[in-house]
Structures are given as C-alpha cells and as structure tokens.
C-alpha cells in the first residue's frame, strides 16, 4: 500500500484534479476495498476502521496537494469520495440485491431468503433480521445487513437493471451523484454517471 501511495503522488504531479480522482477510484480504491462485502461492516474492528479512514484521508490529501495537512477532514469530504463505512454499506447492499435478482449463488440466495421479511406498513420494502445466536454468526452476511436495508427508501424489483440498482442504492444512502461526461447538446448521459459518497451530518 505504501508503494501505491508513492505512485499516486507521482501521478498527481502529472494529472489534473478531476483526472486524478478517476485514477484513484480505479487504481487505488478498487484495490483498497477489494472484497469489502466480506470484511467491511459492523463486525469490523474499530482499530481497522480507523486505519482505513487514515488511508482514505491520506489519499484525499494527495488529491488536494495538502502535504502539510492544513485541511480538516470535513473539507476533504467535499471531494465527494465515500468514507470506508459508507462504501461498505453500498458494496454489501449491491451484492445482496444482485444475488436476490439473479438467485445466484444459490447457497447465499437461500441464506438471504431465510432472514428476509416485510411489514404491512411497507409491503414492498425488503428487510432482514439478525438470526445469529453467537458473535461468529453475526459475521455472516445475512445477519448483518438489517441496518443497511432499513436505510433504503426504494422498493426492489427483480426487473431492475444493475445500473438502476446502483443509483437507487447511492441515493438511498445519501450519496452524491456527479455527472462525468455531458452527452449530445450538453445533456447529461445517464450512462456516464459516477457516484461518489459523502456522509451527511
């Protein structure tokens, strides 16, 4: 990770801010959050979350050329890059919805169906309960997604495209959708949307 950070500093000197943000999304955060659906969530140790936050903000300081750490974290949040905790919610929610949509992998789909329920007040809203009896059981994905799905304000449908699922998740989790490329005649092409997350206080 340190070698990668050095590489990012090298790139920052040669790229514009917007270009560099794209590079960090694909080359840095893609590696940092690889497999985060498994290891990042309410079961993650506080010490590990702090380390992730530290790496996250160090990278944003490179974006801002803030080598002397003069900017506060609240200022860096305005760049619109997801904090680790929020990204974990999005990545996990996305995996769960795609699994239910495709009914695959079969083993995970079955476990999700066992803990899924709905209420009379919100019959179309997908909810999950924690069926774990031990601390180890809580680490299983179907037992730790209850709080995530309580935050979602849209009704999931298996006919939804993957793009609509991603955008709906980001909006529900109060993520900021930033258009990357204007389409013909200045219109924004919905296929060129990159979502970055910020925690709203």
Q: Distance between CA atoms of 81 and 41, rounded to whole angstroms?
A: 18
Same domain, 7 and 57: yes
Structural domain for 58, as ranges: 2-79
Of 57, 79, 101, the one marking the end of a domain is: 79
Same domain, 109 and 189: yes
Q: Using the structure block, give the residue that is written with the tokens 């993650």.
A: 44
Which pLDDT does position 76 carry in this prediction?
Answer: 95
Residues of the chain short of pLDDT 50, as ranges, are 177-201
pLDDT (tens digit per residue) in 109-120: 999 999 999 998
pLDDT (tens digit per residue) in 146-175: 999 999 999 999 999 999 999 999 999 988
Q: Distance between CA atoms of 62 and 5, rounded to whole angstroms?
A: 9
Provide the 3-class DSSP secondary structure of residue 71. coil
Of 79, 108, 126, the one marking the end of a domain is: 79
Q: Distance between CA atoms of 14 and 84, rounded to whole angstroms?
A: 27
Which pLDDT does position 176 carry in this prediction?
Answer: 58
Of 33, 57, 79, the one marking the end of a domain is: 79
């Amino acid at each position: 990770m340190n070698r990668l950070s050095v590489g990012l500093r090298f790139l920052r000197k040669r790229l514009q801010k917007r270009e560099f943000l794209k590079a960090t999304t694909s080359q840095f955060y893609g590696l940092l959050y690889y497999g985060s659906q498994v290891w990042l969530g309410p079961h993650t140790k506080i010490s590990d979350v702090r380390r992730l936050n530290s790496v996250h903000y160090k990278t944003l300081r490179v974006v801002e050329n803030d080598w002397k750490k003069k900017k506060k974290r609240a200022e860096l949040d305005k760049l619109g890059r997801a904090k680790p905790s929020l990204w974990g919610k999005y990545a996990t929610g996305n995996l769960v919805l795609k699994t239910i949509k495709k009914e695959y992998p079969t083993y995970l789909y079955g476990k999700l169906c066992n803990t899924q329920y709905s209420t009379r007040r919100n019959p179309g809203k997908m909810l999950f309960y924690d069926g774990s009896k031990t601390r180890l059981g809580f680490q299983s994905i179907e037992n730790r997604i209850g709080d995530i799905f309580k935050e979602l304000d849209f009704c999931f449908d298996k006919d939804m495209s993957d793009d609509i699922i991603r955008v709906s998740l980001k909006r529900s989790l109060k993520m900021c959708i930033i258009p990357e490329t204007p389409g013909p005649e200045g219109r924004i092409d919905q296929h060129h949307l990159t979502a970055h997350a910020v925690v709203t206080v």
